[in-house]
Amino acid sequence: MEISDSRTYKNFVYLTPTFRSDAKEELKPFESRWTHNMLIHGAPGTGKSRMIDDEAKKNFSPESIRRVTFYEDYSYEKFVGAYMPVQKDKRTSLSFDGKNGSAIGDGISYEFKPGIMAQMLAEAYASLLGKYLLDNRVDKTVSIDELYTVKDAKKYLLIIEEINRAPAASVFGDMFQLLDRKTGGTSEYSINISDEFKGWFADRVTAICSELYEKDFDNISENIGNAAMLIASNLRLPPNLYIWATMNSADQGVFPLDSAFKRRWSYLYKSVLDNRKETKRDICLPGNKKIDWDDFRTELNKAITEAGCTEEDKLIGTWYFNDNDFNAMEAIYAADSESDSGRMINPLCDKLIAYLLGDVFRNNPEAFFGDGFTAMSKIREYLNNSNADLDKIFKKFSTKKLVQKSSVPDTDDSAVKEPTDVN
């Protein structure tokens, strides 16, 4: 396969792979055990998106991966598509005093505007349809049943971040029905889509296939156009289209997924215990105390649980802080004065403690925080002092043992001798 390029169709730009029949397409071997509909959920900072990225890079070509983030106002029209007004130049005929002419001005027309789901459906089907014709090497009537059995077609992946930050069932709309998949990945059931969607779908699939395979087949546009309309008349998700998503159910303001929607997904829980020691970073605390981040968050999670938090999704994951956060904490506790600290970003206070106070122990801060430290203003004021004692803020969490542990140098494993086997 040659390098992909961009193509414009009705003012929309797409990335499409460029095929040549004399060069066999090099497809990534698909070795993932993940299903077509996969949902990764877990606590914040556990690396859900990173996990999907790692799996995607192993099994999909970069140009076949798309990503979208759901949010509260996200809708079916944005995700799938809708028939919408489009402003464009419009030529109008004029007649005055026996003379004819024309004028150009703004006009409104209506077109189907595709969302990311419609785009990926068209691209996945174009690849599947083209591979089907290429394998048969004849310009023939397409059998839909045979089409879904095509092997080694290019695979596409749609990644949905934060799927429960929008009303997911409403965003998917009639596509909800297509999430029921057979063993091979094709939808169990089909849906009827609007005539406008059908027309756009047939045109788009035809445009991609005609550009990719025009050297191999005569009159391919008409043949593929008819096949695309046949597909659109009973639309299903193709076996080469995967949908993987992330979700954090513990966040405030999220939409719960109903049982019927959840049933159509495979789930993988990303535990706070995963990726331990992977970050290899120290967290800098007041007094310029440095503690191994993983040791710190492990003890903090124990204290959170002991204080009555039973929701594991609210615990602190490995990737809760990024490199900028670690650097900011190190900088603030090396500040020259308290006034300097007050104007600097402090992820320890403004990100971690604010999350614990405002989310985890929102209704019962006294269960975890010490006397006088149940308001962010008091905590922020106290932590502006570079020599503040962090342990005073909490009731059950202490860093003293962790500081002592961090002060002990790591053992050089190479210097440790294997014990002698004594018989």
pLDDT at residue 240 greater than cutoff 50: yes
Please report how many Cα atoms fall inside a 13 Å half-sphere around the Cα of residue 136, on the Cβ side: 17
For the chain, give the percent of residues with pLDDT over 90. Answer: 43
One-letter amino acid at 236 equals R
User: In the CATH scheme, what is the code of domain 32-80+115-268?
Assistant: 3.40.50.300
State residue 30 phi and psi, 5-degree precision. -90, 105
The burial class, CB within 10 Å (0-12 / 13-18 / 19+), for 70 is buried
A 10 A CB-CB count for 135 gives 13
Q: How would you classify the pairing of strands 241-247 and 37-42?
A: parallel
In terms of average pLDDT, the best of 17-21, 158-162, 217-221, 373-377 is 158-162
- Return the domain boundaries, the chain: 32-80+115-268, 82-113, 282-407
List the single range of 18-27, 129-138, 298-307 with lowest mean pLDDT: 18-27
Residue in 268, 193, 257 with CA at minimum distance from that of residue 231:
193
State residue 372 phi and psi, 5-degree precision. 85, 0
- What DSSP string describes 212-278? HHTTT-TTHHHHHHHHHHHHHHTB---TTEEEEEEE-TTSTTPPPPPHHHHTTSEEEEE-TTTTTTS
pLDDT one-digit tens code per residue, 152-182:
889 999 999 999 999 999 999 999 999 999 9
pLDDT category at 81 given cuts 50, 70, 90 is: very high
Strand partners, 89: 106
Give the pLDDT mean for 25-49: 81
How much is the mean pLDDT over the chain?
Answer: 80
For residues 397 and 394, what is the distance between their CA atoms, to the nearest angstrom? Answer: 6
pLDDT at residue 102 greater than cutoff 60: no
Cβ(237)–Cβ(181) below 8 Å: yes
Q: What is the dihedral of CA 378, 379, 382, 385, to 10 degrees?
A: -140
pLDDT category at 419 given cuts 50, 70, 90 is: very low
Q: How would you classify the pairing of strands 282-285 and 266-270?
A: unpaired
**Checking phi first, is residue 193 left (phi over 0); if not, alpha (psi -120 to 50) or beta?**
beta
Helix (H) or strand (E) holding 400: helix 400-407
The residues near 126 (Cβ < 8 Å, ≥ 6 apart) are: 16, 204, 205, 208, 209, 212
Cβ(47)–Cβ(320) below 8 Å: no
Task: Identify the pLDDT of residue 9.
Answer: 40
